[in-house]
Structure 1
Amino acid sequence: MVAKTTKIDFEKTGFFSKIIVDYLNKDEKLEPFFNFYPEPSSFEKALKKKKYNFDRTILADVITKQNVNAEINISQSSLKNIDLLKSSNTYTITTGHQLCLFTGPLYFIYKIITCINYAGELKERFPAYDFVPVFWLASEDHDFEEVNHINIFNKKIVWNPEQAVKGAVGRINTSSLGNEINELKQIMGEGENALKLNDLFDKAFLKHNNLSDALRYLVNELFSKWGIVIIDGSDKKLKEAFKPIIKDDILNNTAFGLINNTIKELSNAGYRKVQMHPREINFFYLKNNLRERIEKAEDGTYKVHDTELIFSESELINEIDNYPERFSPNVSLRPLFEEFVLPGIAYVGGGGELAYWLELKSVFDYYKTDFPALILRNSALWIDANSADRLKKLNLTAKDLFENSVTLINKLVAEQSDFELSLEDEMNELKTIYNRISTKALSIDVTLKASVEADLQKNLQSLKHLENKLLKAEKQKQEITVSQVTKLKEKLFPGNGLQERHENFIPYYLKHGDNYLDILKEQFKPFSESFLIIEENIYQRQEKQS
């Protein structure tokens, strides 16, 4: 069962930054900022050079223990992959994300499927190696407002616990989510797939003690059949080996200087938008419900922001030695920590993520950690059956949807009009006439050139104004068409943004069940490097015929 898909270049969507478009186009200006480009020939070379020093047995044991503690039933595929991590010829394809309520926006799902597909593709191409898809739980993140809501069926469900939320979001107790889950159940209804999701969310959020375990359960239930391995970096054994880097960053501010130098180099190369500003100290102090910045005071002591906690240098070193789990890397050093503890060969991320990873290669080099291939996750626009039918009736293609709304409407109105709305021919005739006038005027007095040109521009402007009136009048006649295009764009591009950054997977799962994830997995091709448009109605017709 194959859905009809249309490919469009990322650049032509208008939603991806210059640095990402140039990266995909292999612009040589960016070559100093990454290790190797994610293409088969480069992977072959990288695999032969790959170095990894973390204890693989500890890694596998930590993951196993985390799953046991969270009471997660692991599939045979995932168990096999965890065991494979102990082997020296196994490497990881990693992605990660904040712990979004009910998985949050669609691209949460897209990232994981991209990761799974690349692991499978690389295994086929390089059978002597094994590749494990890994999802990194960003449990230490403290931006609760970024993860406490979902948008579904034009409604927003927001989780607002009665008690103030502080510290790492992964530690937040989810027992207070009952009202939000009941609200979601009412929205979803009582269909077969709705009941599946009801059970899934009840077990994930109400049967587990915290948000980290809840998301671990949820991701495992949705993706374990494809061997996903889930890891939470908030673990003492993982951070034990990272202690030298924790100390170096806090005491010597090494990453601060390296990243700022890279930012200058990127700016000199034409990429002036800074994705991520490093801090002098890139670690938070993490304890119980506390996650706050560590700052060095003028007297040489180290203070935990917005608290009374103060450490001398020797006290801080002792704290790192005894409690490394209390030191949480920020966005500048979390990528390094991930690749330090994982045998990573590639990282899957969105455009914004990859842009800030490009600021980090010098940090990886300094700490002698291999910089992974950066893979842009798959992106897609899913067009439901009704919208696809509307597109067809409007005589629009899926690619047309990526045009600016005003441009698209003007183009469509002009095409469907019984009249010629453009005055371009008349404007060209006017220019020809004024060329002759200019020749005559200049033969009499050269100072008349400016007057002739000004008069031409005035008349051209009048014609343009008249052309706009013609278009406006025709739009009023085609009011229904204009309204249909406007509503279609608003539906498929909520808030003038990409669907995947706003909508949740639930509506699609309600309609298609597990087939929804299967369709995405089938259509998201590794090494494709195109934005996908998936038209639902074609898929349904083929499904009925089979």
Structure 2
Amino acid sequence: MNVVPEPLPGGPALARGFMDNDEAAAHFYGGHFHMPHNKRQRAAWLDESAGARADRGRLTQVLRAYNAKYNNHEAVRQSLDLLERPETLVVAGGQQSGLFTGPLLVIYKAVTAILAAREASRELDRPVVPLFWIAGEDHDWDEVNHTYVLNRSGEVTKLKIEAPETGRSSVSHIEVGQEAWGQPLEQLEELLQESEFKAEMMELMRTSARTGSMSAAFAEIMGSLFGKFGLVLLDSADPELRRLEQPFFRSLIENNEVLEADYHRTAADIKAGGFQLQADVTEGGANLFYIHEGARLLLIKKDGVFTDRKGTVSFSREELLDLLDRHPERFSNNVLTRPLMQDYLLPVLATVLGQGEISYWGITGRAFGQMGMRMPLIIPRMSFTIVEGTLHKHLEKYGLAFGDVLEGLEEKKRRWLEAQDELELGRRFEETKAAFAAMYDPLIEQIGTVQAGLIKLGGSNKEKILDQISFLQGKVEDAMAKQSEAALRQWERIERSLMPLGRLQERVYNIMYYLNRYGLSWLDELMEIPADYSGTHRIIYM
């Protein structure tokens, strides 16, 4: 592998400002950069505040039970043994549980967490374990029920899994039967090219499908890929975890109005700084969900009670706290309280975030302080585009760089096609049309002296002749394009491989194409790439 930096334009301005250490953005995060001196300060604070977090013994007990089901590796057991010790810290990252792991960025987030934990452990001379937070409590099924594969013909293909009516159930609680897994598994096997690794990859996918839910299948695959690196998995929808989170949910309910005010103040400051908000901060928002008859309802405060937008449920504060005592599994965080809950559960040294996540974490700064916490260090997720060997040759053949692909190739492809016209037929057709018009226009003027109505007829006749010349020109261009069909397919392959659906490769394609082609050892090579926590996009030339 050859890895080359390729900074990308755009992205959320607040996240970009944070990564560039721009004070206008960085102060929303308390200057919490992934630097050695900040790591030491954060570690010292975590030691001092250990009593304010969830009990480590109970936490590791819950995580052992979960990982024994889906991530039962010796390295993971060692990580959990370490986590039980008071000096051990965590580097956490997380994502929703997508079909066959979802897009490549999920893989890159796990890699970032593992490498950052190793580095921090060396620098601090104390154990730091990587942990992946599966956002199984999220309820948007349509966000996770599909993935995309580059098929053997070089086309972008969408795989999707159907499930019974899901309503607003948490993804981890949606049962997916074996019959539902059948179609995407068959599609995947058909789409992937034959390789020495295909049988192993398909068996991994089939094994994961037997687990019964999307989140469980996701955990099974992530464990198979990263368990040997000691990556601990956590499902935010785990009922056993809810019991541990119960005291902090109580604090979130009791301090709800103050927290809401903090979110609004910070959101106003962010907008005043010229930045856009990446998460909604709504008036009266409780920033908590309540699970009612399987549906995950976002709570708001209205007329002194906690309710939802449709009024399906309604509780006084006392009633809500009583329900929390009896049924903690019915409560769930939103994007603004999840960062706080993560910090309550775990001794988080640093958290791995994508640019969108960095932006909405900026809203939580005051809320961390309100709850007696400090925002953890933030590590931008590593970002890559994979360029395979044949594709690299195509880029060089047509004199293209990755930046050209980002901008769009239509104009460059058009110019390339024009350059293939060695007979200069395009120029000659245009000259012919211009010469014809130059000869015909004076004639039309002259016939107008014979009869005025002939001018209109002459103009119409001229346009028909020009249309016929253009028609012939189009036919010639089509014939030339057919002669360049193989080359045009290469142009299409470049776009579909590097910017599928007009988006970055890591946001669309699934890892299965690459594992099928290069085997599980490809992940080992990925783990050997020098870590870069600046957020700079990089190109991996295979």
Return the TM-score normalized by structure 1.
0.79
8 Å CA contact 1:286, 1:292 repeated in 2? yes
The answer for the alignment partner of 2:459 in structure 1 is none
Assess, with a 3 A threshold, how the Cα gap between structure 1 residues 165 and 180 changes in structure 2: closer, same or farther: farther
Which region of structure 1 is more displaced relative to structure 2, 222-231 or 28-37? 28-37
Assess, with a 3 A threshold, how the Cα gap between structure 1 residues 407 and 343 changes in structure 2: closer, same or farther: farther
Deviation at 1:119, TM superposition (A): 0.6
Deviation at 1:415, TM superposition (A): 11
Q: What SS does the aligned partner of 2:197 have?
A: helix
Deviation at 1:158, TM superposition (A): 1.3
The answer for the alignment partner of 2:297 in structure 1 is 292
Which region of structure 1 is more displaced relative to structure 2, 46-55 or 506-515? 46-55
Give the counterpart letter for 1:178 in structure 2.
G
Which region of structure 1 is more displaced relative to structure 2, 273-282 or 351-360? 273-282
Assess, with a 3 A threshold, how the Cα gap between structure 1 residues 199 and 288 changes in structure 2: closer, same or farther: farther
* CA distance in structure 1 between the partners assigned to 2:535 and 2:419 by the alignment: 32
Assess, with a 3 A threshold, how the Cα gap between structure 1 residues 253 and 524 changes in structure 2: closer, same or farther: farther
* CA distance in structure 2 between the partners assigned to 1:414 and 1:188 by the alignment: 35
1:329 alignment partner, one of 318, 333, 337: 333
Deviation at 1:297, TM superposition (A): 3.9
The answer for the alignment partner of 1:91 in structure 2 is 89
The answer for the alignment partner of 2:157 in structure 1 is 155
8 Å CA contact 2:384, 2:539 repeated in 1? yes
The answer for the alignment partner of 1:168 in structure 2 is 170
8 Å CA contact 1:59, 1:341 repeated in 2? yes
The answer for the alignment partner of 1:195 in structure 2 is 199
1:52-63 to structure 2, matched below 5 A, reads 52=50, 53-54=52-53, 55-63=55-63
Is it true that 1:110 corresponds to 2:108 in the alignment? yes
Assess, with a 3 A threshold, how the Cα gap between structure 1 residues 44 and 100 changes in structure 2: closer, same or farther: same
The answer for the alignment partner of 1:24 in structure 2 is 19
The answer for the alignment partner of 1:41 in structure 2 is 37
Deviation at 1:186, TM superposition (A): 2.3
The answer for the alignment partner of 1:522 in structure 2 is 528
Assess, with a 3 A threshold, how the Cα gap between structure 1 residues 500 and 30 changes in structure 2: closer, same or farther: same
1:380-399 to structure 2, matched below 5 A, reads 380-399=384-403
Give the counterpart letter for 1:7 in structure 2.
P
Deviation at 1:354, TM superposition (A): 0.7
* CA distance in structure 2 between the partners assigned to 1:137 and 1:487 by the alignment: 33
The answer for the alignment partner of 1:505 in structure 2 is 511
Give the counterpart letter for 2:113 in structure 1.
C
Deviation at 1:510, TM superposition (A): 0.7
8 Å CA contact 2:172, 2:213 repeated in 1? yes
* CA distance in structure 1 between the partners assigned to 2:17 and 2:417 by the alignment: 35
The answer for the alignment partner of 1:221 in structure 2 is 224
8 Å CA contact 2:381, 2:533 repeated in 1? no
Assess, with a 3 A threshold, how the Cα gap between structure 1 residues 307 and 174 changes in structure 2: closer, same or farther: farther
Q: Where does the alignment leave 5 or more consecutive residues of structure 2 unmatched?
A: 423-473
Deviation at 1:482, TM superposition (A): 7.9
Count residues in correspondence.
Answer: 469
Q: What SS does the aligned partner of 2:343 have?
A: helix
Assess, with a 3 A threshold, how the Cα gap between structure 1 residues 414 and 144 changes in structure 2: closer, same or farther: same
Give the counterpart letter for 2:139 in structure 1.
H
* CA distance in structure 1 between the partners assigned to 2:344 and 2:182 by the alignment: 38
* CA distance in structure 1 between the partners assigned to 2:293 and 2:80 by the alignment: 29
Assess, with a 3 A threshold, how the Cα gap between structure 1 residues 92 and 415 changes in structure 2: closer, same or farther: farther
Which region of structure 1 is more displaced relative to structure 2, 162-171 or 82-91? 162-171
Which region of structure 1 is more displaced relative to structure 2, 505-514 or 406-415? 406-415
8 Å CA contact 1:284, 1:293 repeated in 2? yes
* CA distance in structure 2 between the partners assigned to 1:504 and 1:31 by the alignment: 33
* CA distance in structure 2 between the partners assigned to 1:486 and 1:67 by the alignment: 43
Return the TM-score normalized by structure 2.
0.80
1:531 alignment partner, one of 499, 521, 537: 537
8 Å CA contact 2:382, 2:533 repeated in 1? no
8 Å CA contact 1:20, 1:354 repeated in 2? yes
* CA distance in structure 2 between the partners assigned to 1:353 and 1:174 by the alignment: 29
1:369-408 to structure 2, matched below 5 A, reads 369-405=373-409
Give the counterpart letter for 2:288 in structure 1.
F
8 Å CA contact 1:15, 1:498 repeated in 2? no
* CA distance in structure 2 between the partners assigned to 1:487 and 1:505 by the alignment: 18
Give the counterpart letter for 1:108 in structure 2.
V
Give the counterpart letter for 1:139 in structure 2.
G
Give the counterpart letter for 2:234 in structure 1.
I
Give the counterpart letter for 1:135 in structure 2.
F
Deviation at 1:529, TM superposition (A): 4.2
* CA distance in structure 2 between the partners assigned to 1:21 and 1:409 by the alignment: 32
* CA distance in structure 2 between the partners assigned to 1:391 and 1:504 by the alignment: 23
1:232-243 to structure 2, matched below 5 A, reads 232-234=235-237, 235-243=241-249
Deviation at 1:309, TM superposition (A): 3.3
* CA distance in structure 2 between the partners assigned to 1:30 and 1:528 by the alignment: 15
Q: Show CA shifts across 1:396-423 (max 9, x none).
A: 34455444546766998999999xxxxx
* CA distance in structure 1 between the partners assigned to 2:41 and 2:412 by the alignment: 46
Deviation at 1:295, TM superposition (A): 3.2
Which region of structure 1 is more displaced relative to structure 2, 178-187 or 319-328? 178-187
8 Å CA contact 1:118, 1:526 repeated in 2? no
Percent identity between the aligned chains?
Answer: 26
Assess, with a 3 A threshold, how the Cα gap between structure 1 residues 58 and 415 changes in structure 2: closer, same or farther: farther
8 Å CA contact 1:165, 1:172 repeated in 2? no
Deviation at 1:305, TM superposition (A): 4.8
Assess, with a 3 A threshold, how the Cα gap between structure 1 residues 318 and 529 changes in structure 2: closer, same or farther: closer
Assess, with a 3 A threshold, how the Cα gap between structure 1 residues 407 and 132 changes in structure 2: closer, same or farther: farther
* CA distance in structure 2 between the partners assigned to 1:283 and 1:506 by the alignment: 35
8 Å CA contact 1:243, 1:321 repeated in 2? no
The answer for the alignment partner of 1:138 in structure 2 is 135
* CA distance in structure 1 between the partners assigned to 2:372 and 2:340 by the alignment: 10
* CA distance in structure 1 between the partners assigned to 2:217 and 2:530 by the alignment: 27
The answer for the alignment partner of 2:465 in structure 1 is none
8 Å CA contact 1:96, 1:135 repeated in 2? yes
Q: Show CA shifts across 1:169-224 (max 9, x none).
A: 11111223222222222223654322112211222122x13223222221111101
* CA distance in structure 2 between the partners assigned to 1:214 and 1:482 by the alignment: 39
Deviation at 1:6, TM superposition (A): 1.1
Q: What SS does the aligned partner of 1:518 have?
A: helix
* CA distance in structure 2 between the partners assigned to 1:73 and 1:486 by the alignment: 39
8 Å CA contact 2:383, 2:535 repeated in 1? no
8 Å CA contact 2:104, 2:506 repeated in 1? yes
Q: What SS does the aligned partner of 2:278 have?
A: coil
Task: Give the root-mean-square deviation of aligned CA atoms.
Answer: 2.8
* CA distance in structure 2 between the partners assigned to 1:200 and 1:119 by the alignment: 27
1:311 alignment partner, one of 296, 315, 319: 315
Q: What SS does the aligned partner of 1:151 have?
A: strand
Which region of structure 1 is more displaced relative to structure 2, 133-142 or 16-25? 16-25
Q: What SS does the aligned partner of 1:80 have?
A: helix
The answer for the alignment partner of 1:469 in structure 2 is none
Q: Where does the alignment leave 5 or more consecutive residues of structure 1 unmatched?
A: 419-472, 537-546
8 Å CA contact 2:71, 2:233 repeated in 1? no
Assess, with a 3 A threshold, how the Cα gap between structure 1 residues 380 and 189 changes in structure 2: closer, same or farther: closer
Give the counterpart letter for 1:213 in structure 2.
A
Assess, with a 3 A threshold, how the Cα gap between structure 1 residues 199 and 403 changes in structure 2: closer, same or farther: same
Deviation at 1:326, TM superposition (A): 1.2
